[in-house]
Amino acid sequence: MFNFLKRGLKKTKNGFFGRAISMLKGGITPEKLDEIQELLLLSDVGPETSEYIIEKMRKGKGDPEEVLRNILTELLGTDERLNFSQHSPTVYTLVGVNGSGKTTTAGKLAWRFKKDGKRVLLAAADTFRAAAIEQLKEWGKRADVPVIAHQMGADGGAVAYDAVRHAISNGLDLVIVDTAGRLHTKDNLMRELEKIHKVIKKLLNDQPTETLLVLDATIGQNAIQQARVFDESVKLTGIALTKLDGTAKGGMIFSIRKELGIPVKLIGIGESMEDLKDFNSSEFVNTLLE
């Protein structure tokens, strides 16, 4: 895991955290704290969270690097893993804008849980993009799991309904629903997602167990606004942060946890099947500061 993170977080580390550590050698001064706050903002740690970190550092005792390490680890909170229902099937819905990596994340999760011995089903409820349907079918082949799909333009709620009903009938363990990321307006998209959730609850009133927002780390502070909008509509249980290897601005991960209280449960670093991991806050921070 350490090597995985070290490879994937190289840009983020070099972009801010390596420079901050160099500056902290020799102690903390008001001038250094001002420079570190500027670096935090440039690394897409939002103004509120940056101010919080600087205030904590100003009051911190002992080795400055250890003070920063403790602040960042505390910000990320206790690690939370993906949950499963006590009664099968468990349903996960993946939400997020187009291009964030939703379909790829769905495929990687299917592969991971199939490898763990679970009976998994994918649902192609992003019916507004033919490419999304075909991509999910391809992931189904790679992961060797079935895919429920209708034609392009079909009702996404009907796809989710058919998938959950199929899983119930066949005693499957997990349904992963890939949802739309763009409609004519934001309101249309949110209504579509709400409808998919209502349909699922008609069949299983305690589902979905997880509603995961898939966020592209390269979009920086926009990620926080996205999370806020989706959370208001479908109440997120966690975040899958993708493309961390493609940005020097991975700081939004701290702002999301601090400002919204939504745990990061998965991180994606790379394109291979194995490049989606459970998030471990202490390993994440240690990699950035080592």
User: What percent of the chain shows pLDDT beyond 70?
Assistant: 94
Provide the whole-model pTM.
0.92
Predicted local distance difference test score (pLDDT) of residue 268: 86
Residue 253: which pLDDT band, with cuts at 50, 70 and 90? Answer: confident
Residue 270, pLDDT > 80, answer: no
For all residues of the chain together, what is the average pLDDT?
Answer: 89
In angstroms, the CA 125 to CA 177 distance is: 6
Q: Give the C-alpha distances (Å, rounded to integers) separating 184 from 22, 108, 154.
A: 48, 29, 16
Residue 275: which pLDDT band, with cuts at 50, 70 and 90? Answer: confident
Q: Tally the C-alpha atoms within 13 A of residue 89's C-alpha that lie toward its C-beta.
A: 27
CA-nearest of 230, 222, 221 to 192 is 230
201-251 pLDDT tens trace: 999 999 999 999 999 888 877 888 888 899 999 999 999 998 877 665 667
Lowest-pLDDT choice from 29-38, 149-158, 182-191, 197-206: 182-191
In angstroms, the CA 137 to CA 217 distance is: 25
